[in-house]
Structure 1
Amino acid sequence: MRAGGMGEEAQEAARLKDLLPASWRMETQVSPRAEHPAAIASTPLLPWQRTCRVSLNFKKWVQFAPVQRELLFLREVAWRQQTRWLQVGPLQGVLGFGALVAIVEGTQVDLTGIAGGALLVLVAGNQLWRRQRSVAMEFAADQEAIAVARKRGYTEAAAVQALLSALEEAWRLEGRRGPSFTEATRMQALRAQLGGETPPIGTATVWE
């Protein structure tokens, strides 16, 4: 696929979306974004924005091997699904309770109650924001992408290798001096998952 052709970009977007589970596919939109410095980027799933918009810089995107593209895409969507704000959990419960308290007390003009509710919202929101950017959440998204890839015919080793090699190449294509701390930690974990072996991407066995 050459960069630039709108038809080819649409075909690539459709091909990538076909890899997704049906529930993810309904919430994912893929579009080109030539000015973005990263090969792939996305928007979060929020209560008022239920669609994850994945942007691809096709000039950089096509420099990855097809298997690398697939794992990068699956991983990006998996990360957004892992960090969605509407998942049921303790922090979301506290966030909702705090908002409810603030609203109820606001109708009664109780400044102390409003302040207490607002504080709960602030604390829970901050904790949720930090958790979504934790290394553990990054690892979970990697494993979720690998699990989806296995359902699409990849062996586990091939999926891990494709994602690892894509991460190793991404920072170079984006003109960065090196990988971020989180990327380096993820790569270390993926190498460990492979047993320390990192064969060239061209020699990996992709399909079972």
Structure 2
Amino acid sequence: MRRDYTERGALLETDLAADWRTQFEAWFTDAAGFGLAEPNAMIVSTATPEGRPSARTVLLKEYDERGFVFFTNYHSRKGGELAANPYASLVFPWFPMQRQVLVTGAVERVSRAETEAYFPLRPRGSQLGAWASPQSSVVPDRAAVDDAYAAAEQRFAGEPVPPPEHWGGFRVVPETVEFWQGRSSRLHDRLRFRRTEKELWVVERLAP
């Protein structure tokens, strides 16, 4: 039976797994089972060298004890901002479940081998789109995008589509991972895993 998350529950220290990855896996499994359309959708926030914030929604594609991975055009706005200021925050907004997961940490590029292993798993149209779109650049009109896509179709007709050199993955290496559980009167439960300078993890409760 699916749990009714509209009945706000609690998140106590005794509920947590021993590490953030195991706890995230449990909540991610819950989100997928709940029937959310895109349980792996997350808000990625970056900042310019001047400290101006920017945010967008992308899809989580991999996670393990090293961190959270998404893929993009390295020449995009977020790619440029991460090149200049390699830190980001993530928010998984599982609102119907009264849950959020918030992550902060440094960002690094994944290896080219990881990108090449993932790229063939994408739909062919998305593969071609990676070649066609100068992501975040100003274009004159929609026709310019459609023409570039048609050119990519023609270029790779009948052939596998390789990942462009300007396209690949980023890994957010967590320094904090907060599990947020909604409760009544806005007295929510917020439990945060935080990595210390000695590379140990501690659990902290934050005021709502």
Bucket of the pairwise TM-score, normalised by the shorter protein: under 0.3
Greater helix fraction, Structure 1 or Structure 2:
1
TM-score by length of 2: 0.27
Larger RCO (alpha carbons 8 Å, 6+ apart): 2
